[in-house]
Structure 1
Amino acid sequence: MTKPRLERGSRLVLATHNAGKLAEFKALMAPFGITVLSAGELGLPEPEETATSFAGNAAIKAQAAAKAANLPALADDSGLCVSALGGAPGIYSARWAGPDKDFPAAMKRIEEGIGADERTAWFTCVLCLAFPDGTTHSFEGRVEGEIVWPPRGTGGHGYDPIFQPAGETRSFAEMSDAEKNAISHRARAFEAFRTTCLA
């Protein structure tokens, strides 16, 4: 099968309405000469995420954006998985924060649901690149760590203040963007995507 390639000068739709995620991907793509537009900027609706896996939900979002914009589209689906909660919140990580994106409440819910002994957790990210013809390619990244309490740091977003990656003494939210981006689940998924798809 031919490798999917995005040439320098290409336009790519990022299937998100999240300004922080858009900024992160613009920075990641800049060295490769790729112009990144967001689904939000283009006024594209957010499709319902009905799959039962990160890969399935990423594909739903990427395919919808690629078809609507008639451009290659990249979507990610990511979340925090907590061992003591059977892998939850997982694909429901954003939904645990509710319509108001109340992540402090979601983090408290995690802390109240786990014991003192089993604090193992991991972040997973699946990136899906879709083309207007319906072709998709998926790339997964994962970073192991543990839940810390109380939340620490003011950087990052989502569950970053309670996640301490393995081998670190700081939470993701206590790191600079550059430090986090070097080791994050999204960085690892992006590296797999980069080596396959970027010239």
Structure 2
Amino acid sequence: MLVRYLVFVTGNAMKLKEVKAFLGEEPNPRFTLVNQSLDLPEVQGTTQEVAIEKCKRAAQLVNGPVLVEDTALCFDAMNGLPGPYIKWFLKELGPEGLHTMLNGFSNKGAVALCTFAYSPGPPKDDPTKDPEVLLFEGRTQGTVVPPRGPPVFGWNPIFEVNGEGKTYAEMSTEEKNKISHRSRALASLRTYLDSLPSSS
């Protein structure tokens, strides 16, 4: 059976653009990458646990291959917080507020973590079973700095990549795609997709 669509679950146009720039419109002869915004339950847990649960639910809703992304920004001084809850911290505090969270801490180190969860969909022999989920992760080490660069994409203005001297927001798409946590996770995902047969 030929798989026609790989559904990337997002309503975020910037995320979709980055993923398509890296994977292409057709990341594998089996797949055409499309996006769909789904109302998935917000679960608590590690980045990996959140990604797995969201992917299972999305695969059941779509009834086919899906791709779900979860991103975390982990402050060293706060034992990994905000972590997978960065979206809510960002919504309440903004980039400047995230930076000021580390006032009083000498350690401004942080890790940007991206987890892509892929599922081929519910098992054909028993659709009531949980879909299989595979994880692909990427990490980038950096430092939390006062906001620099266009405030277009989340917390990018406060995350300066170690050894680069620039925040994500100050980088061109080409520069960012070489070293970002998302691009590293996508590289692993692309390797996996390339290994799949063109038909089954």
User: Taking structure 1 as the reference length, what is the TM-score of the superposition?
Assistant: 0.83
Answering whether residue 22 of structure 2 is matched by residue 28 of structure 1, we say yes
SS at match of 1:97: helix
Question: 1:123-151 CA distances to partner (integer Å, 9 max, x unpaired)?
Answer: 001111012220111111100010111x1
Alpha-carbon RMSD across the aligned residues, in angstroms, is 2.0
Corresponding position of 1:169: 165
Q: 1:85 touches 1:113 (CA, 8 Å); kept in 2?
A: no
Aligned-partner Cα distance in 2 for 1:107–1:83:
17
Answering whether residue 123 of structure 2 is matched by residue 123 of structure 1, we say no
Answering whether residue 121 of structure 2 is matched by residue 132 of structure 1, we say yes
* Matched-pair identity in %: 34
SS at match of 1:135: coil
Aligned-partner Cα distance in 2 for 1:140–1:156:
24
Corresponding position of 1:148: 145
SS at match of 2:164: coil
State how 1:95-106 maps to structure 2 within 5 Å.
95-98=88-91, 105-106=93-94
Which structure has the greater CA radius of gyration?
Answer: 2
Aligned-partner Cα distance in 2 for 1:119–1:125:
20
Q: 1:29 touches 1:35 (CA, 8 Å); kept in 2?
A: no
Answering whether residue 42 of structure 2 is matched by residue 53 of structure 1, we say no
SS at match of 2:176: helix
Structure 2 portions without partners, runs of 5+: 123-130, 196-200
Per-residue deviation, 1:24: 1.5
Q: 1:47 touches 1:61 (CA, 8 Å); kept in 2?
A: yes
Aligned-partner Cα distance in 1 for 2:105–2:47:
28
Instruction: Specify the code of the residue in structure 2 equivalent to 1:146.
Output: T
Question: 1:70-128 CA distances to partner (integer Å, 9 max, x unpaired)?
Answer: 22001111121111222111110001133xxx6xx332322222136211011001111
Corresponding position of 1:3: none
Aligned-partner Cα distance in 2 for 1:116–1:62:
36
Structure 1 portions without partners, runs of 5+: 1-6
Stretch moving more, 161-170 or 107-116: 107-116
Q: 1:139 touches 1:192 (CA, 8 Å); kept in 2?
A: yes
Answering whether residue 59 of structure 2 is matched by residue 66 of structure 1, we say yes
SS at match of 1:198: helix
SS at match of 2:84: helix
